[in-house]
Structure 1
Amino acid sequence: GWLVGPMLVFGGLLVGATVVLAEGAPNYPQPDRLWRLVERHRVSYLGLAPTIARLSMSLPDAALAERDLSSLRVMISTGEPWTPEAWHWTFERVGQRRVPLLNFSGGTEMGGILTGTVIHPLKPCAFAGAVPGTGADVVDASSGASVGVGVTGELVMRTPTIGLTRGLWHDRERYLESYWSRLPGLWVHGDFASRDADGMWYVHGRSDDTLKIAGKRTGPAEIEALLMGTGLLEDAVTIGVPDPIKGTAVVCLCVARPDTDRDKAVKVLSTAVTAGLGGAFKPADVVFVPDLPRTRNMKLMRRVVRSAWLGEDAGDLSTLVNPEAVQAIRAARR
């Protein structure tokens, strides 16, 4: 990615580290390719996206047990929120409960806003705190006032950080409109976040992906965590589609594990969502697809998923590592 790539290459070389770069996908030609690379090159500092962990969870127990991952000292992730199941799997199976699994959240335009560290306690899916100098806060999306413990709000910066961009190329007004105009005086990161009583921070997904179902709001990540918690899936994405009664209805597109009985799984997955969030969020459709469209750094493209499902123009697909997934979604809709 535009942020992690330069940090890895320049940061790694500046401190005298050897940087391991591998072309292609982390699970091809072998499903455990990433872990073979760690073993072969004795990787000590591993960066990964939660998606890669979810893909690896489908590996047979013996496949991971055969890999020597004892060189690992730190794992750090970014790009999307963790699900609890994937975080625990990575911490326990890959890191053997001895390797810190740190969260980092930032963006091309501003560097980092939340992070974990090796000197703070760990909690599943959490960040230890704000990056110094950002004035990070969680605020009400309407008023900009700070919200309390356990309340989900917009993640913002109150202080312009040293890493903040000054504008977009030949489009300064768009920059100001996108980041500084929604809540005057605050940089709006575009993610929902919260803090707990121990001072740990959590990111709950993009605020512009919010689903409003029958007057109730939630983020796709909350629904996806419930789906993944069934243990039946390798991956899942939730989108909102127009509904004449609710305004928006939930559609879940899922990548099943090889041993999953898909006919039975539909009911189990739907029940998991309603049990966790209530009947209003019962999925209108639970659909199985072979894969989900992702960029080369494995970031899920929700915009593309929704456009493909609705039969709309999906836009520029040149950054996708698996453009064939878009056509598969269109075919599943028919």
Structure 2
Amino acid sequence: MQITSFEQYQEVYQQSVNEPEQFWGSIAENFVWKKKWDNVLSWNFTEPNIKWFEGAKLNITENCLDRHLLTDGDKPAIIWEPNSPEDDSVTLTYKMLHEQVCRFANVLKRNGAQKGDRICIYMPMVPELAIAVLACARIGAVHSVVFGGFSAKSIADRINDAACKLVITADGAYRGNKQIPLKDVIDDALIGCSTVEKCIVLTHVRTPVSMLKGRDVWWEDEVKHVNNVCEAEEMDAEDLLFILYTSGSTGKPKGVVHTCGGYMVYAGYTFSNVFNYQPGEVYFCTADIGWITGHSYIVYGPLSQGATSLIFEGIPTFPTPSRFWDIVEKHKVNTLYTAPTAIRSLMGFGDEPLVGKDLSSIRVLGSVGEPINEEAWHWFDEKIGHQKAPIVDTWWQTETGGIMISPIATVTPTKPSFATLPLPGIQPILVDENGNEIEGNGVNGNLCIKFPWPGMLRTTYGDHERCKLTYFSTYENLYFTGDGCLRDEDGYYRITGRVDDVLNVSGHRIGTAEVENAINMHAGVVESAVVGYPHDVKGQGIYAFVIFPAMHGDVELTKKDILQTVTRVIGAIAKPDKVLFVSGLPKTRSGKIMRRILRKIAEGDISNLGDISTLLDPNVVQEIIERASEKK
């Protein structure tokens, strides 16, 4: 299953394009199935309707846990590194993890969960988060993990959209020197959630919380009432495995749906190959399980391959900027997979945090979440990998389920800030605005995929039409990624950023409409427009242009009020970095806001704003430019 040379990659890639069904069928043979498939693939992108491994029966947790017990039962499955280095790390072997997953699966059943029920998980980065995810999959319940930084309103929206029956949370979480009151946030969210019957609460930070009789139960109490034997529920390959909400170009987050069989095969195959994972190695992905990276490359991908997955609660700079390097040294980490935002942030501290740190165990480095800039790539290569560890700059999305375009470690020749080449089975295509294919090398276009792959989304939960409109209707018979892309003279791909109204802030996708809706909820705001601009650490920052006619008193205080509103509605991750009060916005005569002009102003590039004479009020542009320059 593993590719070991560039010649082999070219051969395997060609085979995967020529005979995709045969190719993926042979990959799927490496997994455990209760019943094999009748048909590898049936598809059309018009509906869209995609089915992989039709008729097959499986349970993904048998592939992640049970099949390793005989040979690797005592091998570490998860190593947990806590927020504070003074606290002890925890290691769970495959046998221990299997027992805890089965026990908690029985807790879920005891609290009324059944196959097909949706369960919302809002937890800190602790081993119990992975246990909760796997326990849902064990009984055939559909998990919807919500990142621990979202607000009560954002959680309520997600719970209501999926009609979740249970919530799993904790009293709180640690994030550097802060405590996040998770249970309090859940309590606020559940005021408007009529479908939730039970809330299971893990003790973690030992802070007082309110427990509602009949609804709230303690994790620690519940596990005492059950044993650790739980047969894995038989699932169809196309049964739902999880829903993960992602921002779109409209205000309402959309629930991306992944199913059991194809997702398992794709996450496992890509993990094994991209990172060139070797038995016994320690693999450290610094992401949160609340994002797709955590689903695919902390939980399902590594565990399906019998890997040792290191998880971390905390931030890279607490208690010191050498936190990552201490973890690498302590656990002899072989693969480090992190985000450009983290890399740029750590670069800012210079070489001091690296002095005396033994990073010699690192064999592979990885980057995820957004394109990595050249300066950060070289720093990562020289200071962390000592120019001996290949960097896999991975491009993929929540919707793709797994890595799509990336070097294969030790196999693909790398190039700074290029995602390089598609993985086997992935058929990218560049198109112009009209959907015509742009052939050859040394070209730019919109990135689409022309053939299905097993890890792709099947629908958006409860709204298939939205899935069709967002991904499959822009260009006929193609999956549209929403990203612009350059293909250079060597055929290497470089992602150039979003071409729709979605921002990529610290690797988190945030819809401009979602932020605008939140700003507009503030009592004094008439209208707002949000765009991205280059940010030294985050990659993209959020710049908000706000019409607030009744402004009186303290301007800075009003800005803080608006930021607080966004934090309450979405979460702190969506707070604008800059807020500029304006009297109007550049609009076409039909009322459409010209974000292109605002983007240029935010970037400080007013040399080429194009023809503004056709705007409803061209004078507005000059006023915004003047206010923006004053603000600097």
TM > 0.5 fold call: yes
- State the Cα deviation string for residues 305-331 of structure 1 (Å, max 9, x = none): 2337777787566775x55x9376349
Shift of 1:124: 0.6
Shift of 1:102: 0.6
Kept in 2, the 8 Å contact 1:140–1:147? The answer is no
Q: Which amino acid aligns with 1:134?
A: I
Cα 1:131–1:316 shift into 2, 3 Å: farther
Report the secondary structure of 1:117's partner residue.
Answer: coil
Kept in 1, the 8 Å contact 2:441–2:490? The answer is no
Counterpart position of 2:400? 110
Shift of 1:82: 1.1
- State the Cα deviation string for residues 173-199 of structure 1 (Å, max 9, x = none): 000000001111110001111111122
Q: Does 1:93 align with 2:383?
A: yes
Q: Which amino acid aligns with 2:406?
A: T
Counterpart position of 1:269? none
- State the Cα deviation string for residues 130-155 of structure 1 (Å, max 9, x = none): 12222111221323312442222111
Counterpart position of 1:167? 459
Match of 1:124 among 416, 440, 455: 416
Q: Which amino acid aligns with 1:101?
A: I
Q: Which amino acid aligns with 1:115?
A: S
Most deviating of 145-154 and 20-29: 145-154
Q: Which amino acid aligns with 1:326?
A: K
Kept in 2, the 8 Å contact 1:309–1:329? The answer is no
Shift of 1:166: 1.6
Q: Which amino acid aligns with 2:291?
A: W
Most deviating of 131-140 and 117-126: 131-140
In the alignment, the residues of structure 2 paired with residue 70 and residue 150 of structure 1 have an alpha-carbon distance, to the nearest angstrom, of: 38
In the alignment, the residues of structure 2 paired with residue 151 and residue 87 of structure 1 have an alpha-carbon distance, to the nearest angstrom, of: 23
Counterpart position of 2:575? 326
Q: Does 1:3 align with 2:292?
A: yes
Cα 1:319–1:21 shift into 2, 3 Å: farther
In the alignment, the residues of structure 1 paired with residue 477 and residue 535 of structure 2 have an alpha-carbon distance, to the nearest angstrom, of: 40
In the alignment, the residues of structure 1 paired with residue 477 and residue 310 of structure 2 have an alpha-carbon distance, to the nearest angstrom, of: 41
Shift of 1:251: 8.4
Cα 1:327–1:180 shift into 2, 3 Å: closer
In the alignment, the residues of structure 2 paired with residue 23 and residue 44 of structure 1 have an alpha-carbon distance, to the nearest angstrom, of: 19
Counterpart position of 2:543? 306
Report the secondary structure of 1:152's partner residue.
Answer: strand
Structure-to-structure mapping, 1:1-334, within 5 angstroms: 1-7=290-296, 8-111=298-401, 112-118=403-409, 119-208=411-500, 302=541, 305-307=542-544, 315=566, 320=571, 326=575, 329-330=578-579
Shift of 1:28: 1.8
Shift of 1:115: 1.4
Q: Which amino acid aligns with 1:42?
A: K
Counterpart position of 1:271? none
Shift of 1:29: 2.1
Shift of 1:49: 0.7
TM-score by length of 2: 0.37
Kept in 2, the 8 Å contact 1:308–1:327? The answer is no
In the alignment, the residues of structure 2 paired with residue 140 and residue 220 of structure 1 have an alpha-carbon distance, to the nearest angstrom, of: 22
Kept in 1, the 8 Å contact 2:544–2:578? The answer is no
Shift of 1:80: 0.4
Report the secondary structure of 1:105's partner residue.
Answer: coil
Kept in 1, the 8 Å contact 2:482–2:500? The answer is yes
Kept in 2, the 8 Å contact 1:72–1:99? The answer is yes
RMSD: 3.4
Cα 1:74–1:308 shift into 2, 3 Å: farther
Shift of 1:60: 3.0
In the alignment, the residues of structure 2 paired with residue 80 and residue 164 of structure 1 have an alpha-carbon distance, to the nearest angstrom, of: 19
Cα 1:25–1:168 shift into 2, 3 Å: same
Report the secondary structure of 1:124's partner residue.
Answer: coil
Q: Which amino acid aligns with 2:396?
A: G
Kept in 1, the 8 Å contact 2:392–2:406? The answer is yes
- State the Cα deviation string for residues 215-235 of structure 1 (Å, max 9, x = none): xxxx999xxxxxxxxxxxxxx
Shift of 1:6: 1.9
Shift of 1:253: 6.7
Q: Which amino acid aligns with 1:203?
A: I
In the alignment, the residues of structure 2 paired with residue 317 and residue 35 of structure 1 have an alpha-carbon distance, to the nearest angstrom, of: 34
Unaligned runs of 5+ in 1: 211-218, 222-238, 240-247, 256-290, 293-299
Kept in 1, the 8 Å contact 2:420–2:494? The answer is no
In the alignment, the residues of structure 1 paired with residue 417 and residue 347 of structure 2 have an alpha-carbon distance, to the nearest angstrom, of: 16
Q: Which amino acid aligns with 1:4?
A: T
TM-score by length of 1: 0.67
Kept in 1, the 8 Å contact 2:533–2:540? The answer is no
In the alignment, the residues of structure 2 paired with residue 175 and residue 79 of structure 1 have an alpha-carbon distance, to the nearest angstrom, of: 22
**Structure with the greater alpha carbon radius of gyration:** 2
- State the Cα deviation string for residues 66-99 of structure 1 (Å, max 9, x = none): 2111111111111101111010110111100000
Counterpart position of 2:617? none
- State the Cα deviation string for residues 101-131 of structure 1 (Å, max 9, x = none): 0111111222232111121101111123112
Cα 1:143–1:12 shift into 2, 3 Å: closer
Aligned residues with identical type, % of pairs? 32
Cα 1:101–1:154 shift into 2, 3 Å: same
Using CA pairs under 8 Å that are at least 6 residues apart, name the structure with larger relative contact order, 1 or 2.
Answer: 2
Kept in 2, the 8 Å contact 1:308–1:326? The answer is no
Shift of 1:53: 0.9
In the alignment, the residues of structure 2 paired with residue 46 and residue 192 of structure 1 have an alpha-carbon distance, to the nearest angstrom, of: 27
- State the Cα deviation string for residues 232-286 of structure 1 (Å, max 9, x = none): xxxxxxx9xxxxxxxx9x985756xxxxxxxxxxxxxxxxxxxxxxxxxxxxxxx
